Structure 1
Amino acid sequence: MRFYIRSEDKMDYDCKAETGVQLLARLSSRPNLNSLSETLFPGGINLGNIIEISGDSGSGKTTLITQFLVKCLLPKTWNEFTIGGLGAGAIIVDTDHHFQILKLVSIMESLLMKCRESNTSEVQLPKHIDSKIIEKIIKESLANLIVLNCYDSVQLFVTFHSLENILSSNANTSLIIIDSLSAYYWQDVAVRGIRKMDLYLRKMLKALQSCTEEYKVIVMYTKQTHFQSNVNFAEDSTATPGPGNVSYKIQLNRVEGKETEDLFLAEVSTPVTKCVHQYTVSDDGLMWAN
């Protein structure tokens, strides 16, 4: 018996070849990042969520994503010490080139120096992690970080398509950060003619999600404050619950006034909730006041 497929139906039967290792990586359970930030996400976040971070220059966007990377990459524990990390892998797609690996290492080192042993046995152990152990922990943590530098729009789209292979080979990776998603807007306007900023972001997210959605990782991206739609979050079609839509929007703003020039506000919105947190920016990252 023979079966015939009409030419117009062939596209429905296309299959995508993958190795057993790729299949296992795609279907395997990735590390959970539910407790990435108890301040900003008190209810926790889930794999597959999309998070938008916006703010003007100097508001702490890159510092915030660096803190997220620290929490993601560091281990939960180290021998008798409680570190408080999540022990997961991460990818950062750097388009604005504000991200500094030395800043990441500095915040890691500062956090590790404050870690104390939680052992309750009678054996006398050091109360703090020494410099050799700190160096070892940082090196092992950075081994789970992949930095992809992009310098134009074409490279960014090629990078999006390379993420699928990277994720299939790194089952420990749970977080992708793009800093920023709007970096090459004007290049794309000249080539593709897309002028509406909200439409541009939607198309960029769609292109990114087409390469990553089946791997169920958290996607985080930054953009400038002015790069936004004219509609409210609750009215935005990308903000409604569902695959490929924004789950959280974090707006970073400086508080106006001479006496509050070092004080900032982080407005965290979902399609149904909104809350505001005060913070300052220090060498150790964003310090929350509430």
Structure 2
Amino acid sequence: MALRQWIDGDETAAEMLTRVLKERTSLLVPPLHRVPLHVGNVVELVGPSGSAKTQILIQAAVNCILPKEWNGIRYGGLECSVVFIDLDCRLDISRLSQVLKLRILEGNGNGDLGNFDALYTTCLRRFFYIRCYDSFEFLATLKTMHHKLQKERDDLGIRLHLLMIDSIGAYHWVDRVSSSLPLWGNNRKGFSLANMLEAAVEEIKKLLLVHPSIVIASKATIFGDRSSDIVRREKSLSETELRHGKTDGGQVLYREYMPSAWQSFVTHRVFVRGSDEYLTVSSCEHQSIYFSEWLLPSLGVLDKFIVKNAGVFMVP
């Protein structure tokens, strides 16, 4: 019925522009603010453990589920739904709640709390959390997600704007071991990490056709960061093998281990890492400083940011 209405429907130029601009709303969130992210972009957030990747995902999620304006108060959100697929099974929901509450209080000027509960509840209705424990559950989730999202869009008028995956390489070692196990039947396609990721990419592409959105996936550097001996030894590999893990100066950041189906699917890539630097907030409080660097597109700029209770903030 919806398809027939779209085919038979008509709209003015003003209505068309309003619809297109709404669909192309960009996502600007630190430290991903240097390149506006639009529907159809697939962002890979790569870095070692403890580099604040999940904190950045939480920041982006809160920016999406907050309203543009509520009861005359501007919050600057996108007022869209977010799907968070947790493959690491380590998301702290209380941390998401904390950032959301502080952002609401900040918008209120820490004053009027009369509508706090209603706004808080409305925002959380736009956040969908899914936990998967293996690649098969991940694939099953992607295959069945369309019906859930369609129901929410029809019932509540909520459209998907951001699909998050934390972390896309979570089952790397498990799937590598499983690929050596025999399968019943001669006609079955062999199980492997490459096959599973290829199938996942195809399902995400199908989902984006029906529910246009931004995809942000975190990925751990399982071979260590730039200070690791293992990473330094990878300098002997060919330029082709390391092309997704080098800076312009040729220094190795990490070794790429994802299959080509995923690598070719990614449109943007940001490398994040921790540091030994601290920002002195007060005489008794010091904030760890993190670094972020755009690899795709390569911007040649190293940004600094910190993680506070209210989210991620850039450091001059």
- TM-score calculated relative to the size of structure 2: 0.69
Retained in 2: the 8 A contact 1:160–1:207?
A: no
1:255: which partner in 2? 275
1:184: which partner in 2? 171
Q: CA deviation at 1:173?
A: 0.9
- 1:163 and 2:145 are equivalent in the alignment: yes
Deviations 1:156-179 (A, max 9, x none): 111111122233334411111011
Alignment of 1:127-276 (within 5 A): 128-171=110-153, 172-193=159-180, 199=194, 203=198, 206-215=201-210, 216-226=212-222, 230-233=241-244, 245-256=265-276, 262-276=288-302
**Aligned positions, number:** 255
Retained in 2: the 8 A contact 1:21–1:168?
A: no
Structure 1: which 5+ runs fail to align? 1-19, 117-126
Q: CA deviation at 1:24?
A: 7.6
Letter in 2 for 1:285: G
2:250: which partner in 1? none
RMSD: 3.5
CA distance in 1, matches of 2:198, 2:42: 14
Give 3-state SS (helix, strand or coil) of 1:255's partner.
strand
1:9: which partner in 2? none
Letter in 1 for 2:309: D
Q: Between the two proteins, what is the percent identity of the paired residues?
A: 21
- 1:286 and 2:278 are equivalent in the alignment: no
CA gap of 1:239–1:163, structure 2 versus 1, over 3 A, is: closer
CA distance in 2, matches of 1:24, 1:157: 32
CA distance in 2, matches of 1:160, 1:86: 24
Letter in 2 for 1:167: L
Letter in 1 for 2:52: G
Give 3-state SS (helix, strand or coil) of 1:114's partner.
helix
CA distance in 1, matches of 2:129, 2:63: 17
- TM-score calculated relative to the size of structure 1: 0.75
Letter in 2 for 1:183: A
Retained in 2: the 8 A contact 1:52–1:249?
A: yes
Q: CA deviation at 1:270?
A: 1.8
CA gap of 1:232–1:63, structure 2 versus 1, over 3 A, is: same
Q: CA deviation at 1:232?
A: 2.0
1:92: which partner in 2? 84
Q: CA deviation at 1:131?
A: 3.0
